[in-house]
Structure 1
Amino acid sequence: MTRRIPLISLTIGGVMFLASAASAQESTLGRAEFQARCAVCHGDDAKGGGLVGELFAIKPKDLTLLAKENNGAFPFSEVYQAINGRREIAGHGRSEMPVWGEYFKEDALEDRSSIYGSDAEHIVQGRILSLVYYLQGLQE
């Protein structure tokens, strides 16, 4: 029995280390994706002050307040759908916010000759999830 306790502790520690490493990687990927795709409208700090966003009649949303505006719960699914393009964004109408899901899929299929339908969809999901997790980490 006493031999199991150190083994269990070691296992839990390993899992926590891997989880934090995965979280750091998601944050790194999400941040890079955000800077490349979203910062131009939402700003480097995600508060809505991007250079192109300044030109809109309705200022882009402060993405650091999503949880606060949703009674403290980060609206994970809604954010995912908004990025993917399956959810209409109030104030954007139907076409202002780019449909990143379609862009990511076209990008996956174009750049990788061995990538096909379902594989491309997995790449899209990964890229969107990295953005959603990054935004979740920015909440005030």
Structure 2
Amino acid sequence: MKQSTVFLAGSLVALTVVSSTSFAQGSVDFGKNEYMASCASCHGASAKGDGAMRTYLTKAPTDLTIMAKRNAGVFPTQYAWEVIDGRTSAAIGSHGAREMPVWGYVYRAEDSQPADLHARTRIGSLLDYLARIQVK
């Protein structure tokens, strides 16, 4: 009994040290990480449409930092969600063609949780990041 109490106390101390060290290193920006992994190759690290793949695309990538500016100062969350997710109610062009990959399908294919929770979390984090980088 005494050994289990000592083990439990030692475990709690170790957990506290590890947790405080993790917090001291700063928080992780999941949205920025998602952006850099999925979007930056086309839209650029600055999100201004100047990514390395730009020269290989038939249509230049959108400057994602001015989405709110083009929408009367309001970030178009629903529209952006639908474009990324791929299940859209918004018109995406006169012929219905899409230049941008549909990331929602990719995210859902990687999803091991029910009701595409993982995909929704990734898209939500990405939209949060995009909303934070809007020019004023």
State TM-score, norm by structure 1.
0.69
Quick check: 1:136 aligned with 2:131? Answer: yes
For structure 1, the residue ranges without an aligned partner over 5 or more in a row are 1-23, 110-114
Within 2, Cα distance between the matches of 1:67 and 1:44?
19
Which string of whole-angstrom CA distances, capped at 9 and with x for unpartnered residues, describes residues 12-51 of structure 1?
xxxxxxxxxxxx96x7101001000100000001000011
Instruction: Name 1:100's counterpart in structure 2.
Output: 103
Instruction: Name 1:44's counterpart in structure 2.
Output: 45
**Alignment of structure 1 residues 79-98 onto 2, 5 Å:** 79-87=80-88, 89-90=92-93, 94-98=97-101
How far apart are residue 85 of structure 1 and its match? 1.0
Normalized per residue, the structure richer in helix is 1
Give the 3 Å change call, closer, same or farther, for CA 37–89 of structure 1 in structure 2.
farther
* Percentage of matched positions with identical amino acids: 37
Instruction: Name 1:71's counterpart in structure 2.
Output: 72
State TM-score, norm by structure 2.
0.71
Within 2, Cα distance between the matches of 1:60 and 1:32?
19
For structure 2, the residue ranges without an aligned partner over 5 or more in a row are 1-25
Within 1, Cα distance between the matches of 2:50 and 2:65?
12
Specify the structure having the higher radius of gyration (Cα).
2
Q: How many residues align?
A: 109
**Superposition RMSD on alpha carbons, in Å?**
2.4
